[in-house]
Amino acid sequence: MQNTKDSRKEISIRGKATSFFIIEDTFWRNANIGAEFRLNHHSVGIDYVYFRFRYENDSIVDGIEYSNGYNSFSRRDYINLDYRFYPFKNWPDKYGIDPYMNAFVKIGKRRVWSEHETARVRNPGFHPINEQRSNFADYGLALGLKMGPPEFGIDVNMGVVRRVSDIWYERGYNYSMGSQYEAHNFKRMKWAFHMRLNIYLRVLNF
């Protein structure tokens, strides 16, 4: 019989669902689910990722700050495709850790919007952004570490991405100009920090 410790052929699922807040005005919600297919030192994976951010803006009346202001939102949905190289295939059994190098691509969409009343009413002389949308692709490299036995544990990685975004938005327009909207579109490229934290569960070992 083949020794499975010397031959790592396995399928794992990975993911998480979290919700938390910072101080009292900033709320985050994140969920993702995916799978990883590993053959010895190499693996490929795919994930669906959902991320939502809400910020509560305080209202100020006669110099007094109230906590019943409007909400601003940001939402991202994307597919993550990744390749991993595991240099030490027996370390999970010996030491309970499994380091790896990671190359990945994220392809998705983002939407940013606000409940601010002027963004809906678009008062003359004021030009708020009504809504912003974008398609983006991230190309990244990271270093990661699985902590735990091969069957179940925590998976964390950190690195950098080169983000390429195609962004468009509508800006409230002065009614005297004869139109309610002014559309804008542009491309943007930037470097960004990357971090992922997941729970993994091996479902098949052969």
- Per-residue pLDDT tens over the stretch 28-65: 899 999 999 999 999 999 999 999 988 776 555 555 55
Helix (H, G, I), strand (E, B) or coil at 31: strand
Is residue 77 very low, low, confident or very high in pLDDT (cuts 50, 70, 90)? very high
**pLDDT score recorded for residue 40:** 94
CA atoms 86, 87, 93, 96: torsion sign:
negative
Structure tokens at 143: 């270093």
Determine the length of the chain: 206
**pLDDT score recorded for residue 121:** 40
**pLDDT score recorded for residue 120:** 43
Average pLDDT value for residue range 63-74: 63
DSSP, res 5: T
d(CA 36, CA 42): 10
Which has the higher per-residue pLDDT, 70 or 117?
A: 70
The mean pLDDT value of the chain amounts to 83
The pLDDT tens digits of the residues spanning 156-195 come to 999 999 999 999 876 655 555 555 556 678 899 999 999 9
d(CA 11, CA 151): 10
**pLDDT score recorded for residue 78:** 98
d(CA 57, CA 68): 8
**pLDDT score recorded for residue 54:** 83
Residue from 161, 151, 169, 183 nearest 14 by CA: 151
Checking if the pLDDT of 73 tops 90, the result is no
Q: Which residue has the tokens 């690195």?
A: 159
d(CA 120, CA 129): 9
**pLDDT score recorded for residue 53:** 85
| Percentage above 90 pLDDT, the chain | 58
By DSSP bridging, strand 42-56 and strand 71-85 are antiparallel
CATH fold, domain 9-205, is Porin (2.40.160)
**pLDDT score recorded for residue 125:** 44
